[in-house]
Structure 1
Amino acid sequence: MLDALRKGAGTWVAKIFLVLLVLSFAAWGIADVFRGFQTTTAAKVGDAEVSLIDFERSYRQELDRIGRQIGRPLSTTEGAQFGIPQQVLARLIADAAMNDEARAMNIGLSKEELAKAIQANPAFQRGGKYDRNLLLELLRSNGIREEQFVTDQQLTFQRMQIAEGISGGMSAPKTMLEAVNAYQNESRSARYLVLTPQSVGVLADPDEAALTAFYDERKTDFRAPELRALTVLELTPENMAKAETITDEAARTEYERTINRYRTDERRRVRQIPFTDPAEAEAAAADMAAGKTFADLMAARNLKETDVDLGLLARDKFLDPAIAEAAFSAAQGIVAQPVKGRFSTVILEVAEISPAATRPFEDVRDEIKASLALAAAEKDVMDLHDEIEDARAGGTTLAEIGTRFNLSPLTIAAVDSTGKDANGNAVTLPGTGDLLAKAFDSDVGVENDVLASGQRGYLWFEVASVTPARDRDLSEVRPAVVTAWLAAEREKKLADLALATAERLRKGETLEAVATELGLEIKTDPALKRNLATADLPATTANEAFTGPVGTVVEAAGTAGNRVVLVVDSIATPAFFLEAEEIKPIDEQITRQLQDSLLNQLISQVEKDKGVEINQAGIAQIIGTSRTQ
């Protein structure tokens, strides 16, 4: 939302906020920690400060943004593991550096011009006009005071003036645009052979000496992983709920209390044709009265079913009350008279009516019983959780707890850190995805913290035993080693065949002659492009076709484990016209990169000249880490 508040400030604002491109902030090492500054300050550049409050707010907003992208919330400590605090702080420090430079240069902006700039922001406009109430709503939803926002905007527009002065008039040189266009849009025609693993024929199994040598070099690939035996006790409402204990009387009482949940309002499928001119709608109604059908009207206006069908909707789901009233006042068929809606006059047809209905108790009895049992079990789970925790605190094992509370602990005989058993089969694990990681961080005899299971459940576990990882004897894994040897040998022979084929072509043999001898089909790609994969060629292989002139022979990886031998037949260099539509995005991209580069250089120099200091302890407290971590 804050991005929306600043969106209308223009492209230069984006450049200021993109200063996290400054590579000098890849780590915390921007200077040493604060000495004698206020504990409310996160960082300082010259006389400009970044407050801990601003840092925490920006950091949490960035966590929220990333959390929405990945579909789950990120904690402050998780964000620290991904380096997000460094990125946020780098941006704030860069802003502070520009603020201090603006102060030193005596750059300002009048209140009148600032007000005009804020009012011109589309984010604060309704119907093309500035709406102060909309601005206040946005500020309130983001927890920002109006005076703080105005101050922030003042600083933003001051930074914009510096940015405009540094790189505002810069544009991409024509020579650079021409070179980039040639690089991006050049295409090459090529013919190639696809050599598959089957091209090397049938391989014999290795002899004992070869197999032993192969295994000795790769023992770690066949190593038996560490295995752990676990005892797991899971307590969830789902496995505690007993629907059979709920009586029919209780279920019927709940049914009558929540009867609206089982009711479905009447719904109607309506088709409509809008008319901007009411007179046209009247004429259409007259045509229908004379015998034309709704389908005839659709055909006359080249309308498809998807153009006219509003869907099967309840009365309150119609956007236009007038249309809803007309649709629900008519029998199934056509509403002959035009209906004046909110946006246009329409002719309606009620194509389908789904009457209101209530699901009978007999149809939902089991569903209600299950719901009541689950609700009762949720309360039982909380009570039982506390009793189990008390028992564990007294040294009671999970097996003993299961006996005491009539629960059934699950015994997992052996599982490795990837969730497989001793034979490599997947093990079905209960509860949370944290179980394996926690189990392999624990040890035999350790009392472990309770884990969450689902939304309202709990899971306890004990490590019963640990089987250390070990090197297997060749006799234990012989079939797997033979398979691996054959795959490696086939890959080696395929690579040798591809290299030999490419060498034959380089020495003057024709692709046709080589293809005939090997029994392969010659394939053609008339327009290979850089960095674009095809069905047979990965992007890296396509790129190799651009490493030499016409006649270049390329031997490289194909898709699906194949090898490719390719010959470049022709080169097509794209024409260059500065005014061409396809050149505009290239021009904009390069111009933006050059401008950003200049700004980054300025910011780096300002930070170097004025010095940057960071309150490491204060930042560590916000992100939940210590300085020693």
Structure 2
Amino acid sequence: MLLRVAPGGAANEGRFMLQAFRDHKRWLMFIAMVLIIPSFVVTGIYSYNRMTQADNSIAKVGDVSISPEAFDMAKRQQLEQLRQTMGENFRANMLDNPEAGEAILKGLMDESAVSQTVAKNFVQVSEEQAIMLIKGASALQQDGKFSPELYENFLRSQGKSDQQFVAEVRRDLAKETVLSGVTATYPVPKALVQDYFRILTEERRVRAFIVNATDYVEDIKVTDDEAKAYYDAHQKDFLLPEHVKAEYVVLSPADFKAEAPNPDDLKTYYEQNQSRWMVPEERRASHILIEFGDDKAAALKKAEEILAAVKADPASFADEAKKNSADTGSAAEGGDLSFFGRGLMVKPFEDAVFAAKKGDIVGPVETEFGYHIIYVTDIHEARGKTFDEVKPEIEAEYAEQTAIRQFGEHADEFTNLVYEQSDSLGPVAEKFGLKIETIDNVTRTGVTDPELGRIITEHVAEALFGSECLEEKRNSNAIEVSANTLVAARVVEYKPETVRPFEDVKSRIVDAIKLERASAMAKADGEKKLAEVKASKKLDGFSEPVWVSRQQMQGQPAAFVDLEVSVPTEQLPAFVGMQVEGGAYLIGYVEEAKLKEATDAELAGLAREVASIYGESDRRGYLEALKGVLGSEILNRSVIEGTKTAP
């Protein structure tokens, strides 16, 4: 089943191009930059001594085995994501339970099923779309524009080449195309979408009065005795957790330099893999969509009239698209859909485009969305990239693979050396030319710095607090913190859990007491003011009126906007008040209400968002069906049911 998306009449971004890319662009960026990219760490090209054996597998999907190492890597990845999102609330043992283990393995099996489906059915996303996604990622932009320097730094941090990373993004987007094609088809009742739209867009014309807690702070005095009493009563809030100062070394392929490759070998590799560098045919087309509406015959007649007009005068096509096309996303561009390859459009549309010649105007072509008049404006013929074009890529791959191979050849030596000469990291650092780094404030859960957290993982922290490192002052074992990256560490100094000295936290305590008292004073005065304006109806000191909704909050706190919008229209005008985060007390005068009329385009867009939420059950059913077709089974539950990660 080769999934295709349909050209049609959605608003803004349009339904024509790859829906999973257009309709969920920001969401896909989030996946690419937060979920997909870290996952690349666990799929190294070459694992130094971890060849997967069938009898070591914990599960199988089709003919593909899932190893304990893959499970362990996936668990580490999820822990790292939790560490970054939860901050101080993170605990290294959060996934040490059977339920979490089951979920991790299920995710790996789902991923395997989707990957196999993508491969078997040749689902592809073009290189151009992957590049567009990367360039649009906010993490790689500076001053609103794509930054090659940030991108280069990112690639270096991941140990990836540009070509490899683009290929990986293409693969992940192809997988997402399969899944989004399922969830986007969930039938959402129109009444439900209309209710959601009303809840999000219903407006209130409001004026606000603020009683700021900060206005009271200067007049509040806190004595040393009061601060000390607070300190004594809240000792647990000022605990400095036990921590160590540690030394560590890192071994990775970056520590090995490859020799210049033999030109003949590069040429041979190119010739044996020419299909890899084939650029498929792409066509550029514009279209005008006429929706069926309530009268399909009338729609066909209109489409035929427009077809005759643009055939007579092709230069008028863009103007006709702007005036008549129901696909408002492309209509704004004169109907232009840019370049696309096979497999991205519904079949009737694709067949018409690829059967035409450059400059042909064809139609009306019927799809589920209506009638299309199509103008084929350009063609990029299929071609293979020349050796000179791909030579830098091959050389980069050669250097990368050579470094990884050398790393694999020396990984055991590194592992043995840190164990055999366990009283110092000096010998292993000297042997491999490594720098011994020092880090302080490593707790049992690791470090707070996300970048260092990639090296001093929870597994490294666990080793540092083990008896061999902490009591016997030995090196840790060589620990794999990511694909093809080994870390060895040792404790330099240990500091037990202590309560921070009063003088170190006194200023924090004073500020906390002041804010607590100021908040209480602001609330008291705010409630008094609310009662006064309810009685007098005077609006002295209130802001100018603005229209707010749950979608357009105009800088007001979400909870306060919700309170304002929740006032029944029959009770307007009305005063409302509440204390918000930070201690301020807000009073709102809600003057009138207004309902926004929804356009078809807005309802269609919201329907897709709701479908993606409610379609989760369809997604799960689809994944289970894929695994059923391929055949899947769990072979060893001991790994996922235990309280420790896989060896």
TM-score range, shorter chain: 0.3 to 0.5
TM normalised by structure 2 equals 0.46
TM normalised by structure 1 equals 0.47
